[in-house]
């Protein structure tokens, strides 16, 4: 089979493989602007009831790092730290990220999360407005995002 034809066949099979799974997850990646997370006492209590896995499962960690890397100007410069998995109504990978900005300078450590939900477009549905900073505090907890040096 010619390489061009093989490439076309593989390009058609990849979307079909995604359809074969019964469960579809919709990632919601977000990188915060600062490093301070302020959570209400209700958020703190809710966070304490979650199951945490540190480090996260290899599959979710790889997916989360891939989504975050694609969201920055220089994907090859991305470094991750302090990653963990938070499991509640949804599953999220939380951690810290630093990367080169559009001017080529390294950013400071910034909290990030990638939430894997069963609903597409969490922020586009009618109802309360989706605030990623509030979601960061709920998913990743207060004080959980301190750089390790």
What pLDDT digit, counting tens, does each position of 53-74 carry? 888 999 999 999 999 999 999 9
Please tell me the predicted confidence (pLDDT) of residue 126: 44
The pLDDT assigned to 101 comes to 93
What pLDDT shows up at residue 59?
Answer: 92
**What mean pLDDT is predicted for residues 85-99?**
88
| For the chain, domain boundaries | 23-140
pTM over 0.75: no
pLDDT above 70 (res 28):
yes
H/E element, 116:
strand 110-117
- pLDDT at residue 108 greater than cutoff 90: no
Spell out a b/e string for 83-109, using b for 16 or more CB atoms within 10 Å of the CB, else e: bbbbeeebbbbbbbbbbbeeeeeeeeb
**What is the bridge-based pairing of β-strands 51-53 and 26-31?**
unpaired
Tally of CB atoms within 10 A around 21: 8
Judged against a pLDDT cut of 50, whether residue 12 lies above it is answered with no
Q: pLDDT value at position 22? A: 45
**Token duo for residue 115:** 């939430």
Backbone angles phi, psi at 46, to 5 degrees: -65, -40
């Amino acid at each position: 089979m010619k390489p061009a034809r093989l490439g076309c066949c593989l390009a058609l099979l990849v979307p079909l493989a995604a359809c074969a799974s019964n469960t579809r997850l919709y990632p919601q990646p977000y990188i915060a602007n600062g490093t301070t997370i302020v959570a209400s006492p209700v958020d703190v209590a809710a966070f304490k009831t979650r199951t945490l896995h540190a480090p996260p499962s290899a599959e979710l960690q790889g997916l989360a790092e891939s989504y975050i890397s694609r969201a920055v100007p220089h994907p090859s410069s991305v470094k991750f730290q302090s990653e963990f998995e938070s499991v509640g109504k949804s599953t999220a990978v939380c951690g810290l990220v630093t990367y080169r900005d559009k001017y080529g300078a390294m950013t400071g450590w910034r909290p990030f999360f990638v939430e894997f939900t069963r609903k597409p477009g969490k922020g586009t549905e009618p109802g309360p407005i989706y605030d990623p900073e509030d979601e960061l505090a709920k998913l990743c907890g207060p004080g959980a995002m301190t750089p390790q040096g």
